[in-house]
Each structure stands twice: as structure tokens, then as C-alpha cells.
Amino acid sequence: MTSSTPTSPESAPGLVGAGLSVAAVARRLGVAPATLRTWDRRYGVGPSEHSAGSHRRYSPADVARLDLMRRLVNSGVPPSEAAAAAVKVDVSASPVDLVGGVAVPPPLRDGGVVPEESIPLTKPAPSGGGRGVVALPGRTPTERGLARAAMSLDNVACTAIVSESFDRHGVVWSWDHLVAPVLAGVGRRWAASGKGIEVEHLLSESVIAALVAVHARLESPINSRPVLLACSALEMHSLPLFALSAALAERRIQTRVLGARVPAQSLHAAIKRSGPSAVVIWSSTPASGDPSSLAALPAMRPAPVVMAAGPGWSEILPEDVVRVNDLVDAVTRVANAV
């Protein structure tokens, strides 16, 4: 949002004269300062202004080019080609405002300044899964962009990429074709090298943020009785429940996510207090999938539909407990229950 009285360059934080420091630009774009230095050193997309003491500073035009490069890289374009496209763009053809000491280039979607012919349309290069790379052979540029953002620990970019996919394709499609493949690739890399658990955690939290935003937009739910989504008492991974919650929200179904490691006593209390139409309990490993915990759920009238989700549950489940096999199956069965 553009201020009516832009901050003067002399008083804006992170500025000397008319230029921005690398730290200020990094905050503006949501990337690490080291990434900006690498783009400058390798591709020549860097600061063009100088101040006293030979410190190089970023002009608004520099920031506009970097913002374009960041968006292209996040969409899966190789950095070298993204840099070439950014350098060709005439950022002077469109105004760039300075708000609060931060350069704000115009948006790319709504009549932005990027000519279509300047955006590279190349096939994604095959990934060998080397150091600092998530192996995603045969996957799409968007998946590679999400993996690249995760490896850079760029949570802002991760959330933006996932959110845009939700808006375009919906939660179920995005989960199957974007989120799950990249999470699996990150997991394989960690299993093979013993490194990168921080990448998996950051990516998971970024995806949860995008999923919660979808649920927050729910208005006028169709179900008067809520749907409870909970992990088993020993289950620590709650991400699939947030995915189910968001997918149901797209269908105007209200849920309440109880999260990870829900003790049996707490789950029983929640069922009695809320009178749910359905209860979905997630378990990812046999160690957390005790079928006896399902049999011990409190009886109610009308009885909720109880569903065991995830690969952790054994083949033999208590009577009247429904097994759900994937996100599509879970969404369908919950929708029928409400």
C-alpha cells in the first residue's frame, strides 16, 4: 500500500543517500543477505549505486529486478535464466515507490512491467540430488521452486508458492501434486544424508501457515456439528490434519484441529463437549496407531462417524471405525458424514 507522503531517502531506515543496504533489501524480499550477494557475484544482479566509503547501495530499480528474479526462481526457473530475464526488464517504464525505506516494485500479475517474451520457458533441468539440492526427477518447475525455497530456508517464499497453488488448483490437487512430492523429496534427502531436518520442519510450518489461511476464509459452514481432527496420543506429525481441515473448508465444512499427541482423556472430553458429526484420528506409524484407543472412545447419541486415517493403523480395526486411505477419501467420507 503506497503512502501519500513517502519516506525521504535520508530518513528511511536501511538507506544511505538514495540507496538501500543489503539488509534492508533482504528484509523487503524475504531472502537471506547471502542470497543477494550470491546473485550479485554470479549473475550481476546487484546494487548499482555507491555512497561514501565505496559502499554499494540498491536503487529502487535494482530492487524491482531482484524481486522479479526472486519470483521467477521460486516458480522453478533456473537462477541464471531468471537473472537474464530480470536484467532485460525496463523497470524505469513503471513507477517504483519508496515506502518506509523499502522499495516497492509494481506487481507482476496486474499489468506489471515484465514483457512476456523476457520470461524463459525452459524445461526443468534434471536434478541429481547433490549437496544443497532436493532430488525431484521429472517433477514440475513449481515443485523445484518450492524445494529450492525450502533449501534456502525461505519460509516467506515457501508459503507464497503453496498459497498460490491453493488459489489456482485447490488444496487436494496441490497436496497431491506439489506439497507431498516435495516433502517426500526432502525426507529422502534427510534419510540418505542425515542432514536437513531443519528444511523439513521449515517447509512443514510454511505449508501449515498456508493451510490455516485457507481455513480462516471459511464463511457460513454447512455443518452444525463440528468435525474433530486429532492425532493419536503418540503421534507428533499433525500436518495431514491441517491439509484435511483446509480441504474441507473449501467445501464449507467446519473443523476443529486438536493437533499432535492428543491424550485419550483429552480426546474423550472434546468429543463429549462438542458432539461432533465425525472424528478423524491420524497415525503415521504402527508405534502411534493403537486400535484399542479407537475402541475406547465414548459412546454418544447421535454417534459420530469415527475414522482412522494414516498408515499407522493395523489391518484390524474396531467395529464401526472407518479406515480412510488418502486425502481424497477422507474428504469424501467426512462430507458424507456431515
Same structural domain, 234 and 299 = yes
Q: What is the pLDDT of residues 113-137, one digit of tens each?
A: 333 333 333 333 333 344 456 767 6
Residue 72 maps to a domain: yes
CA 93 to chain CA centroid, nearest Å: 32
Rounded CA gap, 238 and 259, in Å? 6
Please, which residues have CB within 8 angstroms of residue 330's CB and are 6 or more apart in sequence? 244, 247, 280, 307, 309, 324
> What are 64-68's contacts with CB under 8 Å, separation 24+?
64/89, 64/91, 64/96, 64/103, 64/105, 64/106, 64/113, 65/89, 65/91, 66/25, 66/29, 66/36, 66/39, 67/28, 67/29, 67/105, 68/105, 68/108, 68/114
Shared domain check, 253 and 325:
yes
User: For 219-263, how does the pLDDT look when each residue is reduced to its tens digit (9 = 90+)?
Assistant: 999 999 999 999 999 999 999 999 999 999 999 999 999 999 999
Residue 25, domain CATH: 1.10.1660.10
Establish if 132 belongs to a structural domain. no
**Do 169 and 250 fall into the same domain?**
no
Contact 31, 23 (CB under 8 A): no
Identify whether residues 56 and 97 lie together within a single domain: yes
Instruction: Judge if 225 and 333 occupy the same domain.
Output: yes
Task: Return the CATH number at 230.
Answer: 3.40.50.280
Specify if 58 maps to a domain. yes
Type and span of the H or E element at 167: helix 155-169
Instruction: Among 188, 215, 242, give the residue marking a domain's end.
Output: 215
On whether both 149 and 242 belong to a single domain, the answer is no
227 and 198 within one domain: no
User: Could you tell me if 173 and 189 lie in one domain?
Assistant: yes
Non-local CB neighbours of 29 within 8 Å, separated by 6+ positions: 36, 63, 66, 67, 70
| Structural domains counted in the chain | 3
Asked whether residue 124 is domain-assigned, the answer is no
pLDDT of residue 7: 40
Does residue 251 lie within any of the structural domains? yes
Helix then strand count (H, E) for the chain reads 13, 11
Same domain, 251 and 271: yes
Pick the last residue of a domain from 167, 185, 215.
215
Spell out the per-residue pLDDT of the chain, length 338, in tens.
444 444 433 334 444 445 788 888 888 877 788 888 889 999 988 888 765 555 678 888 888 888 888 877 776 678 888 888 888 877 665 444 433 333 334 444 333 333 333 333 333 333 334 445 676 766 788 888 898 888 888 888 899 899 999 999 999 999 999 999 999 999 888 888 888 899 999 999 999 999 999 999 999 999 999 999 999 999 999 999 999 999 999 999 999 999 999 999 999 999 999 999 999 999 999 999 999 999 999 888 888 999 999 999 988 899 899 999 899 999 999 999 98
The CA distance from 121 to 332, in Å, is 37
On whether both 332 and 233 belong to a single domain, the answer is yes
Residue type at 262?
Answer: V
Crossing angle, helix 60-74 and helix 141-151, to 10 degrees?
120
Examine the domain organization and report whether 229 and 295 are in the same domain.
yes
Task: Please check whether residue 309 is in contact with residue 324, taking contact to mean a CB–CB distance below 8 angstroms.
Answer: yes
Specify if 295 maps to a domain: yes
Domain termination site, one of 184, 215, 246: 215
Assess whether 22 and 112 both reside in one domain.
Answer: yes
CATH code for the domain in which residue 191 is found: 1.10.1240.10
Say if 91 falls within a structural domain: yes
Q: Is residue 275 one of the residues assigned to a domain?
A: yes
Domain limits for position 192:
141-215
How many other β-carbons are positioned within 10 Å of the β-carbon of residue 138?
A: 9
